[in-house]
Structure formats: C-alpha cells, structure tokens
Amino acid sequence: MKALHILPLIPLVLGAAVAQMPNSFDASGRSTQAQSGVTNDDPNRVGETPPPQIFGMELPLLDPSNDTMSYGGGKFDIGNNALVRERFEKYLSQAPDDTEQSRLYRKNLEEILRYTQRYTKRSDTIGSKTLVKIGTGLYDLSAYPGDGGQAGALASAIVSALDVQRANRRRDNANAELDKEIDKLISKTNTLTNQNTQKGSRSSKTGRGGGGSGYTSHTYLIAANTSKIAEKKAKQGANEASSQASLPIAKVNYQAVVVGLLLQRRYDHAVIGARVYRHVFKDGNTRVDLDKESDAYKMFTGISGMPPTINTIDTMASNARREVDQSIDAVYGALAQNKLGEATNRLITAVATGEYMQSVATFPAKERQRIAEYWRLRKRALTSLNARDYATVEQIATEMKKMDVDFDDSLLLTHTTGKKRQSDFALRAAQKALREGNEEEFKRLATEAAIIWPRNPNLDKGEKEIARLDSYEPQKEEFRVLYDRKDFRTIYKERERFEVVAFDPELKKKYTEVIEHVGRIDAMLAELKSVAEQDRTIGPSAAYEKLYEMKEADSRYAEDKPFMDEFNRYASEAHDFVTALRDAADAASRSEYGSALSCYYRARCFFPKSNLANKGIKTVTQVIVDAQY
Amino acid sequence: MARASRRGRGKKKNMTPLIVGGLLLLVVLLAGMLFFKPSARSSSSPKPFNIAQYRQDGSRFASTGNRYVLEGKVDSIESHGNNRLIAVSMSNNRNERLPLLLLGTTKLQINITRGDTFIFDVSCRTGRDASGNEVKGILVVNDVTTK
C-alpha cells in the first residue's frame, strides 16, 4: 500500500528536488509545516527505517493514515508540499479533458490494453504481425498531444526490440547456411584426401615416377577447402557474437522505457509495455537488469523486497490504476456528504498518483470548482498562518468550518488564541516598562509583541508610545515649570502625558514623587470620605484629625486644593471637636492649664480615640501634677 | 408766705425720689457685685460651679479662699506621685470632664472610686512649676462627701 503511494512521487522528486523542501520559514527558522501541526521532530520516528533513496536523493514516503509525507527528516502535509500543491492547483484550474479527441485516445488505449490482456490470459504467443499492430496503434496514440509522446516511445522500443530479434534471426539463418556450406566443403575435402591416398599407393606398386603432377593438384584443393571452412566458421562466430551483444542492449532499452513510463505515472503504457515484453523477448527472463548498487535497484527491492522484474512493474502499475479510481470514488462520496476537506485530500492523492488516468482527467468542472474554493481557503489559512495574521486565520477557519462539516478548527483557533495572548502580554509588559522608564526593555518587548503577532491592533498604541519618546522635550520643560510651582495636581491629572519625562533619571524621581504624593492624597481622601459617611458622629472628627496630622507632617499637603477643601469641610462638620482643641491650645498658651485640660477632655468626648486630645491631656496633666500649690 | 410755703412743699417732694433712687442704686450695686465677682463670697459658704466659664478662663475662679461645690461622677483617676488627678463628669453635661487635683496632703474620710458619684468641695488655685511659671486655674479638692 505504502509502496504504491511512493511511485507517483518519484518523478516529482526527480523533477524538482528543491521544491520538496519546506517553502517558507518563520522567524525562528521552523518550517510552516511545523506550524501547521506537522512537526519535524516526531519522537515516533525513532527506530523507523529511513526512507529509500534514488540517485542520491531521498524518496518521500506517503503515510496514508495521516496524509503526511516523510522527507528530509521531516514530515509534511502533502497538501502543503510545494510541488504537489502546484500540480494540484494547475489541475483544478484546468477544464476536464473530455474532448472528442481525448475520448478517442482513451478508447484506443483501452483497446490496446484489452488486446494485451487477452493474450496475457490465454498465454498465447503474440506473433510479429500482432506486435506490429500494437506498435502501430501506439504510434497512432502518440499523435494525441495529451499523450506526451509516451506511446510513441513505447512503440519505438517494441519496434527496436523486434528489429534486433529479426537481425538475430537473419544471422541465425546465415549461420545455418554457413553450416551447410561447411559440411559440403568438409565432404569434398575428405573425398580429395581419399583420392590422394589411393593415387599414392598405385604409383609405388608400378614403380613409375613422374606422377607428381596429379598429387599436387588434390593437395591444393584440400588446402583451399580447409581455408574456406575456417572463414565460414569465423563468420558464424561473428554472427553469434553480434546476436549475443545486441539482445541485452535491446532488453535494457526496452526495460528503461517501461520503467520510465511507470515513474511518469503512465500506468496504462507501463502495463502494455510489461505485458508485451515476454512476447518480444521470448527467453523467459523477465528480470529487470539494474545495477545492484544503483539507487533504482535499491528502490525496487526496498518496495517489494524482491529483485525487480517486468511482472513487478506490471503489478505496480495495475494496482496504481485501481488505487486512483478508488480515490476518485472516495472524492465523489465525500463531496456528496459535504466533507470538503476529505474530498480535497483524496483528490490530491488521486492527482498525485495518477494525473493522467481517465477518472482523474475527466473529473467534472463543477466538482473541481467546489474543491478549488476550499483549497483556496486552506491555502490562505496557511499563508496567513505563515504571515502570523491570526485574525485572518480565525476568519478563514470559520469559513472552512461552514464549508466542511468535518473540519476541526480547534487546533488553528487554539494556536491563534495562544499567539494573540502572547503578543498582548508582551505589549502589556512593554507598557509597564515604559511607565518604569526602562526604554530599552520597552523597545525589546514591543518588538517581541510585533514579531509574535505583526497585525496586533494594540501595536498602534505602542507606536504612539514610541512617537512620544521622540518628542518629549516640551513635556519635560512643562513638567519642570509645574513642579517648581508645586502644581502637583495638574501633573497628576495629566500624568499619562507627562509619563515620558520619566526617561530622564532626574525627572523620573520627581515624577514618581508627584504621582505618589497626589495619589496618596486621593487615596486618603477617598478612605476618609468613607469613614466620615459610615459614622456621622465621630467620622468627621477622625477625618479632620487625620488630615490635620498629615498637614502638620508635610507642608505640601496644605498646597493641594482638594486636600484643603476636604480639610475645611471636615473642620466645619466637626466644629465642636475642632473648637475644643483650639480652645485647649489657646488656654495652654496662656498658662490656663486647668482650662486647657478641661478643653482637651471635652475634645476627647467628641472623639475618644483622638491622638491630639490624648496627647494634650498627657502633656497638660504632667504640668499640673508637677506644679507646687 | 405763699412763696415760703411753696418752697417748703417743694423741699418735701424732692427728698422722696432721692431716697428711692438711692435705695435702688444700692440694690443694683449689690446685685452687680454678686454677679460679677463670685469670688467675693465668703469662703465659709461653697457656691455652684459654671464649667463653661471655667473652660474659657479658669483663673477667674482663683481668688484666694473661694470654694465651690461640684457634683460629679469619677471618670478616671491618675496618680502622679502623692498627687492624684481626677476627671469628673458633670451630672448635667455628659460631654464635659472637669479635672480636679487631689493633693497628697489632703486627708479625706472616704475612698474615691471610679464610676461613683461624689460631691466635691474645691477651690481654684494658681501654682508654680519648677521654673517659677504660673500654672493657673487648677481646681484643688478640699473635701469629698458621698452623695
């Protein structure tokens, strides 16, 4: 199963190995495939058999269980593979190949296939006339542009093989003739030799000399025949050598064409070539002669575990044809159920596996349009994800969810939500750094937030902050004037505008002082207001005393208008308490210590926990008891 | 004659208003003295005490020998050496506390306890601190009786 999926991807690798690499990377250097949920560092890969290689390049392995492909140590979504994507998009944009010419082409191709199938089933031997007919039919097919000349190439291979076979037969016939001629010459030579022997014995018995001329004549003939025999045997040897040399070459040429057709996903052609092979080369040896050290040999043995044969190619091509048709059936089924994602994945597999198959080539335009729309969204999602445009990704995920009942948007949404929050957190930290006057940290964090989510709408605020950094001199001057006038309240009211002065270490201290001072006042006033409202009897006295103590401790409080307004208001509301305290102080200043103590006692009656009253009581009491009367 | 008689009648009439006027003036003077100078009372008869006036100007009560009677509840007692300072809340005004100094030299027949009401016989005195400065308007307890 896996082996069948590898085959269609082989030409993709051969055609554009570079395109197999991840086509984009994020800032951290990780591939977008990894971002889309397909990781390069899958721990399950430990102990896996490494993918086979061909011509020094690793072959991608398709895992049908999750539509991922292993390549270059990583796992990739086949829908996000650059080359597959390109081919698939081209396919979607094309009109179905359903012209009269294409129908005729496929009809003739099917006819040739059935023709070879018939002979295969009957195990008959195809005669040379039949082979010529197949070759002629293939030549006719090559006239169709969509064939890409592949049928012609196969036809040429068949014809070339037949030519070699014919040449061999001619040489065999010639050798047979030579055999006959050699036999005749041997027979003649034997006769002449016998005659020579007989003549020699007669002349010795009669005692006549001078019979030398007849003897000499036979001897020459014998020598000439012997020479001719040697020449003809040499010719025979040459013919045999030629036959033995041309046959393997013809086989290799033929096999190369068939293997090439398989690699180019021309499965119909490959099946025809494989089935015709045994009728062209009748020696019964169907083994594909590949160098055992070659990558191609390793590829075949890696897939089937057996040495490659023509029958292996036949089986592979036949199964691939069946798989493609099943994938297309699955596409129709998924579309009927409104499962666009499933349909898209199955169609990608079908196109990648058998782009030239009839079921793929004639896939209807309307259905292609539906899948193209879904594919466009998927592509936009990947592009947006790569661009870290998370708002758009979420929008696309919603659209895809509407189109595909099975679409699981949780992974995308979880990813985008996480990234958006990460960016916002960085921005918040940047703003905090800005408030603390740490410009370097602010820039670093703002940049980090922009990298994580470049289109974060909150980045505009960061830009404004940066712009303010560039033009904060006027604010510094204005701040100095207000600070010297002790107009802290104005600074506090416009503290965000004056925040930039904090980049100046000297002004930062003053800025912090002002913000803390006025903030403390406001916090205290709010707290005292609550206290005064809770207890109308004691509350105003307590509030007055607190503000009085603050004012006495720090003269700056008396310069704050809201502070003094509240102080006076509480003084009015706690009139008896305040009057008692003032009278006590006045009496003490006149040495009227009895009256002073009495006033302090009165003040304590209005606010029993009064620090001022208790402190006065303690002081005056000491004076009274220490005096002499 | 008639003239003499008119003179004689006129003389009689003029004497009566003078006598009445003199008596009225005497009464006003006595009333004024009573109002403006309480310390002028005899030390042998204790008088009621105006705490509001005391808070304003205690030394006004400090004429030698003047004594006052106060009824109050003991709010607190602080001991400082032999002396004790007693804070008394007035029965007619719970927002007032009057400080009374009980010198160690004063011998009392009863124990003063916190929370109980007593009648205090006090006199207003001016003391001197270690530097010789005046310590004015201090109410010193002469005697204490239970209510």
**Amino acid identity, position A141:** L
Task: Print the domain residue range for B60.
Answer: 47-146
Say which residues have a Cβ less than 8 Å from residue B73's Cβ, sequence separation at least 6. B88, B89, B91, B115, B116, B117, B118
- Compute the distance between CA of residue B131 and CA of residue A186 in angstroms, rounded to an integer: 172
pLDDT at A595: 95
**pLDDT (0 to 100) of residue A19:** 28
pLDDT of residue A24: 32
- A chain contacts of residue B98, beta-carbon cutoff 8 Å: 598, 601
Q: What pLDDT is recorded for position A199?
A: 74
Using alpha carbons only, how large is chain B's radius of gyration in Å? 24
Tokens of A300: 């075949």
CATH of the domain at B92: 2.40.50.140
How far, in Å, CA of A279 to CA of A501, rounded?
Answer: 94
CA distance A217 to A215: 6
The partner residue sitting opposite B55, judged by closest CB among A599, A623, A624, is A599
Under an 8 A CB cutoff, do B136 and A593 touch?
Answer: yes
Contacts of A588 in chain B (CB under 8 A): none
Please determine, for residue B88, whether its predicted confidence score (pLDDT) is greater than 70. Answer: yes
Nearest-5° angle of CA A219, CA A224, CA A227?
A: 130
Residue B40 placed within a domain? no
Query: Closest Cα of chain A to B16: distance in Å?
Result: 49
In chain A, domain spans: 100-200+217-285, 574-629
- Between chains, do B136 and A583 touch, taking CB under 8 Å as contact? no
pLDDT at position A474 is: 81
Cα separations (Å) of A312 from A305, A308, A330, B85?
Answer: 11, 6, 27, 123
Residues of chain B with C-beta less than 8 angstroms from the C-beta of A592: 57-59, 136-137
Among A44, A102, A32, residue whose Cα is nearest residue A384:
A32
The pLDDT of residue A303 is 67
Q: Give residue A370's pLDDT.
A: 92
Nearest CA in chain B to A629: B127
CB A229 within 8 A of CB A186: yes
What's residue B33's pLDDT? 57
Q: Tell me whether residues B54 and A627 touch, CB distance under 8 A.
A: no
Among A350, A383, A386, A385, residue whose Cα is nearest residue A367: A350
Using an 8 Å CB-CB cutoff, list residues of chain A that contact chain B: 583, 587, 590-595, 597-599, 601-602, 604-606, 621-629
Q: How far apart are the first and last CA of chain B?
A: 75
DSSP letter string, A404-452: -TT---HHHHHHHHHHHHHHHHHHHHHHHHHHTT-HHHHHHHHHHHHHH
Task: Compare CB distances from A583 to B55, B98, B124 and report the shortest one's residue.
Answer: B55
How far apart (Å, rounded) are the C-alpha atoms in residues B126 and B137? 6
Determine, yes or no, domain membership for B61.
yes
Q: Which residues of chain A have pLDDT under 70?
A: 1-81, 118-128, 200-217, 294-296, 299, 303-304, 435, 437, 465-471
Beta strand segments in A461-606, E: none
Partner residue opposite B80 with nearest CB, options A602, A625, A628: A625
For chain A, say whether B88 makes contact (Cβ under 8 Å).
Answer: no
- The answer to whether A448 and A426 are in contact (CB under 8 A) is yes
Q: Which residues of A447-470 are buried (b: 16+ CB within 10 A; e: fewer)?
A: ebbbebbeebeebeebeebeebee
The total of structural domains in chain B comes to: 1
Distant-in-sequence, close-in-space partners of A402: CB < 8 Å, separation ≥ 6: none
Task: Identify the pLDDT of residue A135.
Answer: 85
The answer to whether residue B11 is domain-embedded is no
Residue pairs between chains A and B whose CB atoms are closer than 8 Å: 97
pLDDT (0 to 100) of residue B41? 40
pLDDT of residue A127: 64
Residue B58: band (very low, low, confident or very high) from pLDDT cuts 50, 70, 90:
confident
Give, to the nearest 10 degrees, the angle between helix A539-553 and helix A575-589. Answer: 50
Residue type, A75: K
> What pLDDT, in 10s, does the model give residues A262-313?
888 889 999 999 988 888 887 777 888 777 776 667 767 776 677 788 888 8
**Minimum distance, in Å, between the CA of residue A548 and any CA atom of chain B:** 23
Q: Count the Cβ atoms, other than its own, within 10 Å of residue A17.
A: 16
- DSSP class of A50: P
- Whether B137 is covered by a domain: the verdict is yes
Q: What is the model's pLDDT at position A432?
A: 84
Tokens describing residue A485 = 């006038």
Q: Which of A83, A90, A70, A85 is nearest to A5 (CA)?
A: A70
**CA neighbor of B85 nearest in space, from A598, A418, A599:** A598
Per the domain annotation, does B119 fall within a domain? Answer: yes
Helix, strand or coil, per DSSP, at residue B117:
strand
Query: Is B85 part of any domain?
Result: yes
What the block records as the tokens of A185 is 């010459």
pLDDT at B56 exceeding the cut of 80? yes
| Contact present, A574 and A558 (Cβ < 8 Å) | no
Is residue B88 included in any domain, yes or no? yes
Asked, for residue B73, whether it belongs to a domain, the answer is yes
Which phi and psi angles does B86 have, rounded to 5°? -110, 130
Q: Residues 19 to 48 of B: which have CB under 8 A from any A CB?
A: none
Contact predicate B70/B49, CB 8 Å = yes
Q: Do B58 and A625 touch (CB under 8 A)?
A: no
